[in-house]
A and B are shown apart, each in its own frame.
Chain A
Amino acid sequence: MLSEELLEPLQKRIAETDHPRELVVDIMLALQNHHGYLSDQAVEEAARLLDMTPLEIEELATFYDFIYREPVGRFVIHVCDGVVCWMNGYDSVLNHLFKKLGIKPGETTEDGFFTILPTACIGYCDLSPAMLINGRAYGPLTPEKIDGILDRLRSEAPPPRMAR
């Protein structure tokens, strides 16, 4: 069950909106932030909040790139595989991440910190090769830079709630 703390502002926003369904992505993102990903339970919660059916939530949750229906790490590394990053070293960025984290795209590190998800052009072509971690963009990337970023994230963040 969701805490009142989380529910109340969501319910308030829904009550204030003419068309609550406009908030469905926001609600999914809020629940995703809370649960770490949009769990089955979160799908049900979103449906209840918005007077939608779980299927109607699922139709959207599985449509969008930034809604995670499976557990992800504390940090989701969206590596840009747009054409600009591709020509500027996407492959080596990805390979470096594989080597450093020991995981492939779609996987999460043992410690639950990182998930790698290649993603469509993130709009940082002037800084390519680039990646997006939890909403923040980094680029142009070099192996050293990547190491610095990941090490800093790992040391500054509290440990993930549940390692996989």
Chain B
Amino acid sequence: MPKLKIDGLEIEVERGTKVIEAAARLGIIIPRFCFHPGLGPVGACRVCAVKFEEGPVKGVQMSCMTDAQDGMVVSTTDEEAADFRKHVIEWLMMNHPHDCPVCDEGGHCLLQDLTVAGGHGIRRYLGKKRTYNDQYLGVFVQHEMNRCIQCWRCRRFYQEFAGYRDLGALQIAHHTYFGRATDGQLESPFSGNIIDICPTGVYTDKPSRFTGRRWDFERGPSLCIHCSLGCHIITSARYREMTRLEARFSESVNGYFICDRGRYGFYYTNHPERPRRARIRTEEVSLDQAIQTAAQKIIQINQKNGPKAIACLGSARSCVENQAMLIRFCRVQGWNEPTYFETPTMAKKVKRAVARLDEQLAVSMREIEKADFILAVGADPVNEAPMLALAMRQAFRNEATIVVIDPRPVFLPFEFEHLPVAPDDLEPCLTALIKGAVHRSAAEKMGEEALRFYDTAPAEYPDAPIKNRMVKITQKLRQSRYPVIICGTSIVRETTPDVAADSALLLRAARGRAGLFYLMSEANTFGAALLSSEEGSVMDVVESIEKGSVKGLMLVESDPFRSFPDYERLKQAVDKLDLFLVMDYLPSFAARLAHLFFPTQTLFEMETSFVNQEGRVQFATSAYRGGIPISQISAGGHPLRVFRRDIPGGESQPAWQILAKLANIISLPGREMFSLSKNELWSWIAKEYPIFANVPIADELPDDVRVHLAQGREKLFPSGGQIRSGGLSRENSTLELVMGDWTFGTEELSTYSKYLQQVEKEPCLFMSPKDASMLGLKDRERITLPLDKGRLEMELRIVDTMAPGVIVMPKHRQLAWQKIEKWPVKVAMGQIRK
């Protein structure tokens, strides 16, 4: 490892470390504009010049472009280097508009900082400033090209790192311009990152424009909960309003960047219709009054119908604390355990995934970047978990082969092999690839069950074009040194998570190293699966209401009307209830129907934790104390000068605290009383769930703690002998309906964002050209799709990148798709009409 001296301080670094990074480790921050640790060096801005006094490199050189080497003696304070850096800043400031007072970047602007730090204070340039026309870049990003210092970060992130192709460099020389070919919404769902990385105010956050300077905001580290990845974020709030969200660096999860769904999805917390008062039917009451009323009702039902007559639904968007307290509540009351999943199948899939992920197989997104072969099964990263697509792209840039087995028209911002097969064929397609690449001896080494799995799994995929493409893929897989399997849990069959895990085990046996990465539907699906001990589903609860055995229903941050496939049935069930109690922060349909409603706090208002899809327990601090945003009660002016002790609209409480209070009233004498202390709750969690015992409840926001169910207890290779050959039993007269996610428009919380609503695309139905031609349908025609309980009308899109025999539709906010009796849905071909 090279050892060098920077400003008299010695440091040893790994080979390949750049001098600028070595210095940073010593606490010496060498100026930089173009260099960004997430993008690497490029040598364009020249402001990181330092003097190399001794060693293999001599003279003033760029510290970002020079590898640290043995014997180097580096001075960052050398007169010539400092003078050059000062000149670089002077050159960059020649054309800068000096409009800091009206620039949103002011106060956290790298150019501002370095101009002051570099000592450039007096303008010597006498010429005119160059000016540009700005472009409309859409809803998220405000463009102000005059401020540009041409550091190239935006283009490098946008095109090279993220792989999108509609923002770049135009013109030449001192006219170089960064923008699009024409005005318009940026196409990349990662576009907001150019705001974070721009060293000055060329790209600023449009929705939060002119809302304050950095020091005006309450800022804190938090988590993104708009998919299961759990990216790290920084929140900014002011005047009781969440204002802006930025990426927070995370070594293992998201690196330096986040997606636009995460960045602009938070507006539900400020939603003008967000219910902020407790309600009995339509009457607003105090929280305590509501709790008292609820307690009476609950006691009545319990006395009359027994403890099993009240069912609870939690959700996978709730934090660990809320989920755990709900379980604890039910256990203490002797109720049935709460349900977290819509259907038994979903519950089973998620539970199997959680059961199979162990410390050896689980990989983080950073590790995915290092994979040389990625095999994604039933996963649509850009739509389901956008940042995963960026991690995969980094692997692609390192020459990894990437294969996606999925019926949907999957798009990824890089070249990949797409094997579009129907959901029933995902498993045989996967095992055929694995068997082609893994020798039987590898399975043999792993024991009888592995061998049975290997021997009985289909070895060939019957469809010729796909089979032919698989030959080349298998070859690559055979040569790979670090394969990773990514497995979705939304559209796959019950057994697929197990097949994916078993395939990863076989690959590991054969290749020495392999990874497994599951995608889940929501931010805390993993937590829900870990905590809940039963595989009950909303379906079971609805049946019990229909049978009359359940009289009361309590929803904790759950809106089954969004996700339950049969809206009418659910509505009728809810109408039958004696008690319908809802705790939430969303103005959901369920909240409107509630007999009793309790306002809960959002992630941004409480200290919480979530478990992401790789079992990583992550913590978030509260960004602000909640309450109605001042902008919503002041009509744009200054709020009324009224002195009061409470926060207007600040009655919301963490759902788990409301539950604790409720429990303490209804509990029979002698039962345990719940504390309102988070630490007490966590000690209960640690006691009940030993795998959480090692999770430190600290202010330090650890993110490297992963909880995995103990290894060895789980049955490996359970699907041996059960995977049938692909494509054989396909009926030709029906099409299977696959419902997927879209980046914008399907994820529950973010659909409440007025900004994301503006970039949502109209929902449509995707069909393969083969099926469309059989039905005589044309691209962009409006069609009618018959479902069990009614019809849907939408536009048809014919795409050749999807599986035949399947139709694909998003679970879109704008689509009343909840007309389905049960999954899977098969639609008779002739019934899809213009």
On whether A and B touch (CB less than 8 Å), the answer reads yes
CA distance A43 to B180 in the complex (A): 13
Chain A residues in 8 Å Cβ range of B166: 53, 55
Is B729 part of the contact surface with A, judged by Cβ < 8 Å? no
Given contacts A53-B166, A55-B165, A56-B165, contact A43 B181 (CB under 8 A): yes
On whether the beta carbons of B171 and A62 are closer than 8 Å, the reply is: yes
B170–A58 touching, CB < 8 Å = yes
Question: Bound state CA distance, A59 and B181, in angstroms?
Answer: 8
Chain A min CB distance to B179 (Å): 9
CA distance A15 to B245 in the complex (A): 47
B701 at the interface (CB under 8 A from A): no
Give per-residue flags for A41-81: 1 if the beta carbon is below 8 A from chain B beta carbons, else 0: 00100000000111111110011000000000000000000
Chain B 152-180, CB-CB to A under 8 Å as 1, else 0, gives 00000000000001111111100001001
Q: Please, how many angstroms separate the alpha-carbon atoms of A40 and B181 in the complex?
A: 9
Q: Which residue of A lies closest to B155 (CB)?
A: A59
Residues of A within 8 A of B168 (CB): 55-56, 58-59
Residue B634, interface by CB 8 Å: no
Additional A-B contacts beyond A43-B181, A55-B168, A59-B170 (19; CB < 8 A): A40-B182, A53-B166, A53-B181, A54-B181, A55-B165, A55-B167, A55-B180, A55-B181, A56-B168, A57-B181, A58-B170, A58-B181, A59-B168, A59-B169, A62-B170, A62-B172, A63-B170, A63-B171, A63-B172
Q: Which A residues from 6 to 57 make CB contacts under 8 A with B?
A: 40, 43, 52-57
Number of residues of chain B lying within 8 A (CB) of chain A:
12
Q: In the complex, A110→B624 CA distance in Å?
A: 65
Q: How far is the CB of B535 from chain A (nearest CB, A)?
A: 48
Closest to B180 in A: A55
Give the chain B neighbours of A63 by CB distance below 8 A. 170-172
Digitize B327-338: 1 where CB-to-A-CB distance is under 8 Å, 0 elsewhere: 000000000000
A59 to B167, CA, bound (A): 9
A52 to B167, CA, bound (A): 13
Residues of the A chain whose Cβ atoms lie less than 8 Å from the Cβ of B167 = 55
Which residues of chain A are near B165, meaning CB under 8 Å?
Answer: 52-53, 55-56
Contact between chains at B182 and A54 (CB < 8 Å): yes
Q: Which of A40, A43, A56 has the most CB of B within 10 A?
A: A56
**Nearest CB to that of A56 among chain B residues?**
B165
Task: Identify the B interface with A (CB < 8 A).
Answer: 165-172, 177, 180-182
Contacts of A54 in B (CB 8 A): 181-182
Kindly list chain A residues whose C-beta atoms are within 8 Å of the C-beta of B170.
58-59, 62-63
Minimum distance in angstroms from B194 CB to a CB of chain A:
14
For A52, what are the chain B residues with a Cβ–Cβ distance below 8 Å? Answer: 165
Instruction: Report Cα–Cα, A62/B170, bound state, in Å.
Output: 6
The docked-state distance in angstroms from the alpha carbon of A43 to that of B165 is: 15
Q: How far is the CA of A55 from the CA of B168 in the complex (A)?
A: 7
Q: Give chain B residues whose Cβ lies under 8 Å from the Cβ of A57.
A: 181
Residues of the B chain whose Cβ atoms lie less than 8 Å from the Cβ of A58: 168, 170, 181
How many residues from A make CB contacts under 8 Å with B? 12
In the complex, which residues of chain A have a beta carbon less than 8 angstroms from the beta carbon of B182? 40, 54
A-B contact list, 12 entries, CB within 8 Å: A53-B166, A53-B181, A54-B182, A55-B165, A55-B166, A55-B180, A56-B168, A58-B170, A58-B181, A59-B169, A62-B172, A63-B172
Interface centre among A53, A55, A56, A62 (most CB of B within 10 A): A55
Q: How far is the CA of A63 from the CA of B167 in the complex (A)?
A: 15
Q: B residues within 8 A CB of A53?
A: 165-166, 181
What residues on B are CB-neighbors of A56 within 8 Å? 165, 168
The CA of A87 and the CA of B171, in the complex, are separated in Å by: 29
Complex CA distance for A58 and B155, rounded to whole angstroms: 14
Chain B residue with minimal CB distance to A40?
B182
Complex Cα spacing A43 to B181, Å? 9
Closest to A54 in B: B181
Complex Cα distance, B168 from A56, in Å, reads 7
Q: Which B residues touch A59, using CB under 8 A?
A: 168-170
* B173 (CB) vs chain A CBs: closest residue: A63
Provide the bound-state CA to CA distance between A59 and B178, in Å. 9
Cα separation A31 to B576 with both chains bound (whole Å): 70
CA distance A55 to B170 in the complex (A): 8
CB distance from A54 to the nearest CB of B (A): 4
Most chain B C-beta atoms within 10 Å of own C-beta, residue among A40, A53, A54, A63: A53
| Minimum-distance CB pairs A-B, first 3 | A54-B181, A53-B165, A55-B181
- The docked-state distance in angstroms from the alpha carbon of A70 to that of B435 is 59
Whose C-beta in chain A lies nearest to the C-beta of B158? Answer: A55
Chain A residues within 8 Å of B171, by CB:
62-63
Please, which residues of chain A bring their CB within 8 A of the CB of B180? Answer: 55
Interface centre among B170, B177, B180 (most CB of A within 10 A): B170
Question: How distant is A93 from chain B, measured CB to nearest CB, in Å?
Answer: 24
Shortest Cβ distance from residue B184 to the other chain A in the assembled complex, whole angstroms: 10
**Which chain A residues border B181 with CB–CB below 8 Å?**
43, 53-55, 57-58
The docked-state distance in angstroms from the alpha carbon of A57 to that of B171 is 12
In the docked arrangement, what's the CA distance between A58 and B183, Å?
A: 13
Expressed in whole angstroms, the Cα–Cα distance for A56 and B180 within the complex equals: 9
How far, in Å, is B481 (CB) from chain A's closest CB?
29
Task: Give min CB distance, B41 to chain A, whole Å.
Answer: 22
| Closest-CB distance, A64 to chain B (whole angstroms) | 8
CB B202 to nearest CB in A, in angstroms, measures 17
Q: Give A44's nearest chain B residue, CB to CB.
A: B181
Complex Cα–Cα for A18 and B168 (A): 25
User: Which residue of B169, B172, B177, B181 has the most chain A CB atoms within 10 A of its CB atom?
Assistant: B181
- What residue of chain B has the Cβ atom nearest to residue A65's Cβ? B172
Distance of A46 from chain B, by nearest CB (Å): 11
The listed residue with most B CB atoms (<10 A of its CB), out of A43, A52, A54, A58, is: A58
Q: How far is the CA of A54 from the CA of B172 in the complex (A)?
A: 17
**Which chain B positions have C-beta within 8 A of A62?**
170-172, 177
Distance A68 CA – B166 CA, assembled complex (angstroms): 21
Give Cα distance in the complex from A55 to B165, angstroms: 7
Tell me the nearest residue of chain A to B170, going by C-beta. A62
Render A122-158 as a binary contact track against B, CB cut-off 8 A, 1 for contact. 0000000000000000000000000000000000000
**Bound complex: CA A56 to CA B160 (Å):** 13
In the complex the two chains form, what is the Cα distance from A59 to B170 in whole Å? 5
Q: Distance in Å from the Cβ of A40 to the closest Cβ of chain B?
A: 8
**A98: shortest Cβ distance to chain B, in Å?**
24
Give the shortest distance, in Å, between B137 (CB) and chain A (any CB).
12
A63 to B168, CA, bound (A): 12
The complex places the Cα of A105 from the Cα of B371 at a distance, in Å, of 56
> How far is B181's CA from A57's CA once the two chains are assembled, in angstroms?
9
B177 partner residues in chain A, CB cutoff 8 A? 62
Nearest CB of chain A from residue B158's CB, rounded to whole Å: 10
CB A16 to nearest CB in B, in angstroms, measures 22
With a CB–CB cut-off of 8 A, which chain B residues contact A43? 181
Please measure, in the bound complex, the distance between the C-alpha atom of A52 and the C-alpha atom of B166, giving whole angstroms.
10
B752 to A: closest C-beta gap in Å: 32
Which residue in chain A gives the minimum CB-CB distance to B165? A53
